[in-house]
Amino acid sequence: MANNTITFDPSAGVAYGVNLTIYKGADFRSTFQVKNNDGTNFNLSGYTGSSQMTKSVSVGSTSVATATFNVGFTSATSGKFNISLGSTQTRNISPGRYVYDILVSSGTSFYRLAEGNILVQGGISSAP
């Protein structure tokens, strides 16, 4: 499980870059804590989250999601949340490089908190 601290400035409009690794057929979870520029926690109370991964970003058209992550707020007032996929979901993802992003919204406020690459690793050996 990866732990990531994001420094987020809503006025900048730029997502924080975080690269992740998923192991095919294993549960995946990555935790995040969002901080303001001054180091205080970004309060995510009242926000909803969404996150998807896709093989590539298509310009001028909509990309088809390879997987949609579960987004869980573990302590919204402290800016803590996680994204996850179960082993059944990761088993169906082909090894390779993907892109993803994490979005949060509340009312008319919409932010892309993080984005980056995801490397999906396949197994080398098989169980006897």
- For 7-27, how does the pLDDT look when each residue is reduced to its tens digit (9 = 90+)? 988 888 889 999 999 999 999
Which pLDDT value is given to residue 62? 64
Stated as kind and residue range, the H or E segment containing 87 is helix 87-91
What is the enclosing helix (H) or strand (E) of 53? Answer: strand 48-54
Given a cut of 60, whether residue 126 has pLDDT beyond it is no
Query: For position 65, what pLDDT does the model report?
Result: 87
Which pLDDT tens digit goes with each residue over 29-88?
A: 999 999 999 999 999 999 999 999 999 776 655 668 899 999 999 999 999 999 999 999
84: helix, coil or strand? strand
What confidence tier does 125 reach under pLDDT thresholds 50, 70, 90? low
CATH class entry, domain 2-121: mainly beta
CA distances from 126 to 24, 25, 67 (A): 12, 12, 24
d(CA 98, CA 100) in angstroms, rounded, equals 7
